[in-house]
Chains A and B, each alone.
Chain A
Amino acid sequence: MAQKVMGSRPIGRPIRLSFYHLPMPPVVIITGPISREELKKHLLNDVLVKAVVDIEERMMAIGGTMHADEEQELLNKGSEQEHLWGINLYPDDFSEGFIEFDSMINIRPRQNNRSRGVEDPFIQKEIRAIVSFLVP
């Protein structure tokens, strides 16, 4: 029976673990406008760029394979966790869908945010404004 194919990798084929020893790409902090082409250099499997936005310092970390790595980089640079929110950017999407509010780092019971989304519409608006400035 033909195997069902998911993307380019048939389901169930063991992955080659030796591929997973390459160094991690550096996380980049964006403080001024960049083009969508520059953003695309950080694409994750050709579709999205994971980003963490600091709504207080109005900057954004990109280039990590996980939001947690970008969050850590911003924390190391002095950001406060309550101001950090994880999003995904789809550079080929020119609609509202360019920004997706979905990250594990957004689950923050202390701030009453109990989902991967950003539940406060005011914070969503802030994030949209910052991203629009950084990726016009």
Chain B
Amino acid sequence: MNLQTFHPGLTLEHWHALTLCEQLGNIGSEVGRALTAKKQHNHKRELAALDRALELFDLTIADPKHHGHCRELCRAREVVCDYFFGDNEYGSTPENLDRYFMVYAIAARRDR
């Protein structure tokens, strides 16, 4: 099986040292890029951004500090997959997806 990583050199230690807000903010950046690419009908960029977003989701879900309360992380991942690959059963829109992650991104950067 040809498995690959989409953030070469990103270590678990480095990712898990980030706060939840920083992790979700970074995931949101990739989701945002996928939304922009989808709007521009740039399928290659859309898939690449989603590859990166889902990789970061999985690394976040694997973070020991979220164990026991990662239900929302799993649900957020499911909602993103539902929007891009499924039937959009959650009725997501680009705006509400972006807004969801932006809250975390702003919280992570509030002192900057």
Chain A residues with a Cβ under 8 A of chain B: 4, 6-9, 11, 14-17, 19-25, 44-48, 65-66, 68, 81, 88, 90, 97, 100, 102-105, 107-110, 114-116
Contact of B29 among A45, A103, A110 (CB under 8 A): A103
Contact of B112 among A45, A103, A110 (CB under 8 A): A110
Contact of B8 among A7, A17, A22, A97 (CB under 8 A): A22
Given A17-B62, A109-B106, A110-B112, the answer on whether A24 and B9 have CB atoms closer than 8 Å is: yes
6 A-B pairs with least C-beta separation? A24-B9, A47-B48, A45-B6, A107-B109, A7-B51, A20-B12
Contact of B109 among A66, A88, A105 (CB under 8 A): A105
B7 to chain A: closest residue by CB: A65
Tell me, in angstroms, the Cα distance from A133 to B96 when the chains sit together.
Answer: 38
Chain B contacts for A104, CB-based, 8 A: 22, 25-26, 28-29, 105, 108-109
B42 to chain A: closest residue by CB: A97
A108 and B48 within 8 A (CB)? no
Given A20-B15, A66-B26, the answer on whether A6 and B5 have CB atoms closer than 8 Å is: no
Chain A contacts for B11, CB-based, 8 A: 20-24
Within 8 A of A (CB), among B53-112: 54-55, 58-59, 62, 81, 84-86, 102, 105-106, 108-110, 112
A24 and B14 within 8 A (CB)? yes
Contact of A25 among B8, B33, B44, B49 (CB under 8 A): B8
